Structure 1
Amino acid sequence: MRQMALVGFLQAQNCTQLASSWRHPESRNDSMSKHYYRRIAQILEEGKFDLGFFDDRLAMPDMYGADHAHTVQHGIRCVKMDPLTVLTVMGMATERLGLGATCSTTYFNPFDLARRFQTLDLMTDGRAAWNVVTSFNDGEAMNMGFDRHVEHDLRYDMADEFMEIVLGHWDAWEDGAIVQDKSTGLFAHPEKVHRLDYKGRFFKSRGPFTVPRSAQGHPVVIQAGASGRGIRFAGRWAELIFAAFPDAEAGKRTYAALKQSIADAGRDPDLVKITPRVWTVAAETKGEAEDKWALADSLPNDMDALSLLSEVLNFDLAVKGLDEPFTDDDLARMSGGHSMRDLVVRVSGKQNPTVRDFMQVTRRGRAQVPFVGGPKEVADQMEQWFVEGACDGFVITATHVPGTYEDFVRFVVPELQRRGLFRKEYTGSTLREHLGLPRPENGAWRKQAG
């Protein structure tokens, strides 16, 4: 029977993706300690999750008003630690949980990134994953030594070359290259270790790579592009796709489009998992869950929304009144979040929406698509999306930590297991085994991605 994939959506920062989560009375206050992340990892592994995954950006959300004071004052994702370092802590606290992190193709070096993730994959016995992003705002650019961010489609052109280098290096060592024969003095067969010698429009990298393949071959590749160009990129490269949509019907359309993009790239759509982000608020009864949801939904404020919208759109919303329409030129200058901008125009029915329209349509800074209820109600919603062809699993996002994950594992996971929709035990040790993905043959990406 087909079973769901489950991903825990994490942040190496002072809050979850929900900026207000640190204000929750049950949130832990030690989000900058190893104990905090060890506990999260152990909860997810207890619930047999496929993966714990860190989102990341390279700047505070300081676009609004061109100042970081509001970010720090309100705790709007103002602490951002290195997720790969945090993953090593989580890896030492677990044996089976997959471990993923975001790193940008716009600001990292491909050889360096390939080495970091392949090393993590070896140190965790084949449990690593890389979420490929292109970054999207000027704050990140300036932190990394540039004056402004790269144009949207050009970022993806750069990312295509970046992927060719990373995957090329990950294939440098053939399986069986290392023999470590002390009697003959042969450590590895030199003819089984290859130099890349890549020269492209944006990047070049010589090699040979310095980290051999892991138990799962190489890290699982994750992508979450939602624009037309992002969907084509995901179709070519992704093995696990994170998505976002407001309901099952929209999910079916997005799911079908993503699967078609994968097929168009000459790849098998069944070997790519699509998992939408949802917020779950679970309790023993529906009434208790609704009370929990009311509390969580009371914590966000307008500043959360204005700050996070400015960040993702790469546009300072402080220059507009709440009910002042954006001009055509304003909309064109929103160089980040193209899919979000287009969604607001479509849903609002306005060619020139206002700041308030953006806040209402996107619910930025607030929990979106909440599945609220007792075990049955939450599992019913998840089963509907899964069975009706809107997804292959879910990315579970937290209103507060660790309580959201504790409640999900305690109340929802047993119900999904009872219905045969989710595993009762891990049947493998690598992330690819959890996701039902084959171990990639050396050079397989060249045939699939063309």
Structure 2
Amino acid sequence: MTRKSRRTLHLGAFLITPGYHVASWRHPHAHAAGGLDFGHYRDLVRTAERGLFDLVFLSDGLGIRIPFDSHDELSRQGRIIQFEPLTLLSALAVHTERIGLVATASTTYHEPFHLARNFASLDHLSAGRSGWNVVTSVTDAEAQNFNRDRQPSHAQRYHRAREFMDVVTGLWDSWEDDAFLHDKAAGRFFDPEKMHVLGHRGEHFQVRGPLNVARPPQGYPVIVQAGSSPDGRDFAAQWAEVIFTAAQDLSQAQEFYRGIKKQLADHGREPDEAKVMPGIFPVVGRTRAEAEDKYAALQELVDPVVGLGLLRLLLGGADISNLPVDSPLPELPRTEGSISRQQLVYDKARREGLTIRELYQSVSGGRGHRIVIGTAESIADELEDWFLNEGADGFNIMPPVLPDGLCDFVGQVIPELQRRGLFRTEYKGRTLRENLGLGRPAWGAAARTRQD
């Protein structure tokens, strides 16, 4: 496929160290202690910026989310310690120039004023490159760090999240863009007519305001969201400007893509106001055989205890400890965890006729995201197919092992995408919004939309 596209795709780099594969920390090239090594992150982000990625993305949880029954079981995991992402991205902002900096933060256990201030500060520090991946926390382990025994229900989490967004965007509009005069002669620091006190009183929050940070350079940091349940999709259609999702094949990707674009219209938004970016787990080789060998080597490192722990997490914490691993996955009680991810795992098990052992081996790499194994050309073929056929506006790239997986993609796949006219050869804008082709919200835009 070498057709030229009138539009170009967008790319995010999912930087979870030491890699997205559950056994990545055991790989001989992996930096097992990379989660607390700033220099490691700095090099990764610079590599992604050299590859002209739109953004880097840091996931996060408010605690150790992997279910475990013993300290020995937990000790086998390789991804339990990492920096707090907003702190890390603030440091990385001064080592980069163009790439977007996106961090996960939960509406379930944070307060709106704190997050509004934090993300506005990151937007100023980075000169307009911040993004917020909005999540509702999904594990009881996180709830137990915040005065609860169990997480709130799925419906309660999204109800709180909607009000949370009303408050945060209202706080970002505390000041009009030209509110600050700094007029020393007249003794006026700001124009009092351009300060707006929010005065919010709702079911979950009471927030007076104003925010003690000026309006962000982007108006609002870019809003990212990854929910695929009915509540998640509706939330994304109302608020999200980048939507991360998971799909196993083009037909699944098209169903989500077409559906969410229609839901955007239901909320009075244009289709291009949100970029759909499915996750892709690429294993790149100079030949197909080399790529398959790379993947097989990682799969051989999967500890059965770790594989079962991951599967339990993806099933929302459902107890599978007493189930025979060489039997099919039975129907289990659904939990209040991620509804869409639970369904995706069940669908995969049924569609492919997998035993529990085969299922945890299968999800150890992509965890429900599409695994693409091959040469730069064959991987570019698949990305092009999804992009040109209403499956994606771009992709969230999940390197199996870091730094090798990111370097392979930047060194081999990016040039192939550029050769086909599918990806930029230079950054066109200075801000994340500009590079994603998203408009800057005018002051008060969110409030006017709610009133309409």
Give your verdict on TM over 0.5: yes
Match of 2:113 in 1: 111
Contact map agreement 2:49 2:96 (CA 8 A) in 1: yes
Contact map agreement 2:310 2:360 (CA 8 A) in 1: no
* Structure 1 Cα separation of the partners of residues 328 and 205 of structure 2: 41
Matches within 5 A, 1:85-100: 85-100=87-102
Match of 1:56 in 2: 60
SS at match of 1:221: strand
Q: In the alignment, does 2:412 pair up with 1:411?
A: yes
* Structure 1 Cα separation of the partners of residues 362 and 68 of structure 2: 17
Match of 2:47 in 1: 43
Aligned with 1:171 (options 149, 170, 173): 173
**In terms of mean alpha carbon deviation, does 272-281 or 316-325 score higher?**
316-325
Amino acid at match of 2:14: F
Contact map agreement 1:10 1:397 (CA 8 A) in 2: yes
Contact map agreement 1:323 1:354 (CA 8 A) in 2: no
Contact map agreement 2:106 2:137 (CA 8 A) in 1: yes
Contact map agreement 2:222 2:241 (CA 8 A) in 1: yes
Aligned pair in 2 of structure 1 residues 62, 375: CA closer, same or farther (>3 Å)?
closer
Aligned with 1:3 (options 8, 25, 28): 8
Contact map agreement 2:198 2:207 (CA 8 A) in 1: yes
Query: How far is 1:185 from its partner?
Result: 1.4
* Structure 1 Cα separation of the partners of residues 200 and 19 of structure 2: 39
Q: In the alignment, does 2:39 pair up with 1:28?
A: no
Contact map agreement 1:305 1:363 (CA 8 A) in 2: no
Query: How far is 1:261 from its partner?
Result: 1.6
TM-score (norm 1): 0.92
Contact map agreement 2:292 2:373 (CA 8 A) in 1: yes
Query: How far is 1:370 from its partner?
Result: 2.0
Q: In the alignment, does 2:370 pair up with 1:369?
A: yes
Contact map agreement 2:120 2:213 (CA 8 A) in 1: yes
Aligned with 1:238 (options 240, 261, 276): 240
Aligned pair in 2 of structure 1 residues 427, 316: CA closer, same or farther (>3 Å)?
same
Match of 1:317 in 2: 320
Contact map agreement 1:222 1:240 (CA 8 A) in 2: yes
Contact map agreement 1:126 1:218 (CA 8 A) in 2: no
Contact map agreement 1:61 1:77 (CA 8 A) in 2: no
Query: How far is 1:51 from its partner?
Result: 0.2
Match of 2:207 in 1: 205
Contact map agreement 1:64 1:316 (CA 8 A) in 2: no
* Structure 1 Cα separation of the partners of residues 77 and 349 of structure 2: 30
Amino acid at match of 1:290: E
Query: How far is 1:214 from its partner?
Result: 2.7
Amino acid at match of 2:362: R
Contact map agreement 1:324 1:354 (CA 8 A) in 2: no
Amino acid at match of 1:390: G
Q: In the alignment, does 2:129 pair up with 1:127?
A: yes
* Structure 1 Cα separation of the partners of residues 163 and 172 of structure 2: 14
Aligned with 2:227 (options 217, 225, 228): 225
Amino acid at match of 1:232: D
Amino acid at match of 1:245: A
The one-character-per-residue Cα deviations of 1:118-162 (angstroms, maximum 9, x if unpaired) are 100000000000000001111000012222100011100000000
SS at match of 1:19: coil
The one-character-per-residue Cα deviations of 1:348-375 (angstroms, maximum 9, x if unpaired) are 459xx99944962893322342222222
Number of aligned positions between the proteins:
442
Aligned with 1:257 (options 259, 263, 272): 259
* Structure 2 Cα separation of the partners of residues 362 and 205 of structure 1: 47
Match of 1:300 in 2: 302
* Structure 2 Cα separation of the partners of residues 321 and 354 of structure 1: 15
Query: How far is 1:287 from its partner?
Result: 3.3
Q: In the alignment, does 2:145 pair up with 1:143?
A: yes
* Structure 1 Cα separation of the partners of residues 306 and 259 of structure 2: 32
Match of 1:431 in 2: 432
Contact map agreement 2:26 2:32 (CA 8 A) in 1: no
* Structure 2 Cα separation of the partners of residues 248 and 112 of structure 1: 39
Amino acid at match of 1:364: V
SS at match of 2:144: helix
Aligned pair in 2 of structure 1 residues 76, 129: CA closer, same or farther (>3 Å)?
same
* Structure 1 Cα separation of the partners of residues 104 and 445 of structure 2: 23
TM-score (norm 2): 0.92
Match of 1:443 in 2: 444
SS at match of 1:187: strand
Aligned pair in 2 of structure 1 residues 375, 129: CA closer, same or farther (>3 Å)?
same
Match of 2:339 in 1: 338
* Structure 1 Cα separation of the partners of residues 421 and 183 of structure 2: 48
Q: In the alignment, does 2:183 pair up with 1:181?
A: yes
Where structure 1 has 5 or more consecutive residues not aligned to the other structure, the ranges are: none
* Structure 2 Cα separation of the partners of residues 44 and 143 of structure 1: 34
Aligned pair in 2 of structure 1 residues 310, 345: CA closer, same or farther (>3 Å)?
closer
Contact map agreement 2:172 2:216 (CA 8 A) in 1: no
Where structure 2 has 5 or more consecutive residues not aligned to the other structure, the ranges are: 1-5
* Structure 2 Cα separation of the partners of residues 335 and 263 of structure 1: 29
Q: How high is the sequence identity, in percent, across the aligned residues?
A: 40
SS at match of 1:93: coil
Alignment RMSD: 2.2
Contact map agreement 1:348 1:361 (CA 8 A) in 2: no
Query: How far is 1:300 from its partner?
Result: 2.2
* Structure 1 Cα separation of the partners of residues 438 and 393 of structure 2: 13
